[in-house]
């Protein structure tokens, strides 16, 4: 079944895990897995746009990834700059708007320039918002939002924090996918995933194709999202609100 026939999540967030293992299994350097991961990501962006997903947020480099071998870190930086130069014209024609989410101060001038250029070139697109989390951590986002409010002397409330987050331009993810068989959040969209439906796949990211995305979306379509309410309230909202009025 095509996912397009079911309920399509507005916002999908993905931890693209398993590139290293994909490469190691083939006796290739880890960076080769990340390169293959870019191919998967390109197909994923295209498929999400085609089936009507409006926001896609991916974890491309975490604040903790600096601890990886220097060769892998520089490989990922180079890959980002190259992938942007190569892919942005096509993304541009597909109506994709790119946003970088993360701490830019720690990145080289070349990487920062590449990010700024990709954002500027796609700024007017509206079909799919594509957030690339790079040098990002969920705790970093919460802390930077709090620091921003404190510097402005503004009170810290759920609402004000929400508005100061680096991901404030999009609604929270409906579906959070992690590939690669691990079942953890790993400091991704910590604040925004409060009510996301979680989906874990054993497939490694380079193997996660359009059919795998459709399977995740089909699974999402079967979930009952309650946002703290009871099942009865969700399935029959009119009836439960009438009952609530009666009881009041």
| Positions marked catalytic | 17, 65
Rounded Cα distance, 77 and 108, in Å: 9
Q: Is 208 exposed, middle or buried (0-12, 13-18, 19+ CB in 10 A)?
A: buried
For position 12 contacting ligand FPP by CB under 6 A, the verdict is no
Is residue 80 involved in binding ligand FPP (CB under 6 A)?
yes
Contact between 65 and ligand FPP per CB under 6 A: yes
Stated as kind and residue range, the H or E segment containing 228 is none
Was 30 annotated as part of a binding site? yes
CB of 195 to ligand FPP, least distance (A): 25
Q: Which H or E element spans position 222?
A: none
Please tell me whether 17 is known to bind a ligand. yes
CB 167 within 8 A of CB 189: yes
Quote the least distance from Cβ 19 to ligand FPP, whole Å. 4
42 C-beta neighbours (distance < 10 Å), count: 15
Please report, as residue ranges, which positions from 16 to 35 form the binding site for ligand FPP (by CB under 6 A).
16-21, 34
CA max distance for the chain? 68
Helix ranges (H only) for the chain are: 19-25, 30-51, 70-93, 109-121, 138-151, 158-164, 210-221, 231-235, 237-247
Part of the chain binding ligand FPP (CB under 6 A), chosen from 1-9, 45-53, 75-83, 145-153: 75-83
Binding residues for substrate: 18-22, 30, 34, 62-64, 66, 68, 178, 184-186
Binding residues: 17-22, 30, 34, 62-64, 66, 68, 178, 184-186, 197
Site residues (vs ligand FPP, CB under 6 A): 16-21, 34, 37-38, 41, 60, 65, 76, 79-80, 83, 180, 205
């Amino acid at each position: 079944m095509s996912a397009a026939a079911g309920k399509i999540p507005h916002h999908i967030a993905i931890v693209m895990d398993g590139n290293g293992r994909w490469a190691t299994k083939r006796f290739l350097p880890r960076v080769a897995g990340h390169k293959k991961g870019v191919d998967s990501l390109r197909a994923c962006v295209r498929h999400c746009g085609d089936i009507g997903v409006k926001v896609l947020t991916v974890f491309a480099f975490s604040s903790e990834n600096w601890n990886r071998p220097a060769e892998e870190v520089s490989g990922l930086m180079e890959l980002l700059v190259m992938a942007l130069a190569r892919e942005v014209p096509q993304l541009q024609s597909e109506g994709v708007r790119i946003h970088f989410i993360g701490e830019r101060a720690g990145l080289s001038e070349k990487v920062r320039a590449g990010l700024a250029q990709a954002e500027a070139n796609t700024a007017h697109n509206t079909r799919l918002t594509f957030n690339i989390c790079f040098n990002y951590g969920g705790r970093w986002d919460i802390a930077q939002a709090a620091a921003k409010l404190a510097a402005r002397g503004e009170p810290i409330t759920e609402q004000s924090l929400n508005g100061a987050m680096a991901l404030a331009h999009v609604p929270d993810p409906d579906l959070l996918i992690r590939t690669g068989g691990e079942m953890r959040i790993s400091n991704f969209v910590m604040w925004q995933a409060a009510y996301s439906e979680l989906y874990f796949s054993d497939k490694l990211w380079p193997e996660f194709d359009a059919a795998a995305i459709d399977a995740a979306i089909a699974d999402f379509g079967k979930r009952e999202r309650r946002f703290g309410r009871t099942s009865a309230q969700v399935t029959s909202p009119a009836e439960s609100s009438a009952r609530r009025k009666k009881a009041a």
